Amino acid sequence: MAFNAVAGTEVVGMANVRVIEPAIDTNRFDPARAVADGRAKLGIPADAFVLGIVARVQARRRFDVFLEAARRLCQRDSRARVVILGGGTNQYEVARRPVEEMGLADRITFPGVLRADEYVSALRTFDVKAYMVPGTDGTCRAVKEAMCSGIAVVVANVGMLSELVTHEKTGLVFDGSVEGLDEAIERLRANANERKALGAAASRDAMDRWQREPMRLRYEDAYAELVGPMASRS
């Protein structure tokens, strides 16, 4: 005997489960919307290759892997820059001090927590966004927002990240190691055409999958299926 998650009844032999992904504000992150690239405000050269991450700065978010890959990038490319968006009470120990010890304080920027169009503007400075591990939320909203923005995303094969990003179609999926991340970043840095194609495909995919109105209708359908059998028994 199994429980029918949609209709709220017990069924024999199988469970009826409906999965509906959380929506994002696709209009806010639409690349066609008139929001300025934030490079000038952040002091980043217009022609720099920018690697970014959006995450709460905590050790569990694997900043050790990200920062080592960032160090290797900066060694290869003297004009590369790195942007870390997010806050965290252990930010100095986890990220700022390692950046200082690497001698990269002038190459890695910490804008902190940004809101409204300041966040969208900062996100648009990224050429590539890396994501190491899902946060407390687990649904990886920041990855969806970057994809919607048309940014090429590189994600570790952890949690649901590989369900959001299709390898070599809407981004790159790597094995979670420094070497894997480094190789993916360098691949996209060296190939602007692939980078732009992945970003464009990611934006189309995000628009199709996570727009609010279609999601609202799916929720309504699910609740209708749930309430219908209950109403008929009342």
The domain locations on the chain are 31-228
Residue 86: pLDDT band (50, 70, 90) is very high
Q: Which residue has the higher pLDDT, 225 or 74?
A: 74
- The 10s digit of each residue's pLDDT in 157-189 is 999 999 999 999 999 999 999 999 999 999 999
pLDDT over 80 at 115, yes or no: yes
CB atoms within 10 A of CB 120: 19
pTM for this entry:
0.86
Strand partners, 108: 82
Residue 4: pLDDT band (50, 70, 90) is very low
**Residue with tokens 């980078």, as numbered in its chain:** 195
Amino acid at 110: F
Average model confidence (pLDDT) across the chain: 89
Rg (CA), the chain: 20
Indicate the CATH number for domain 31-228: 3.40.50.2000
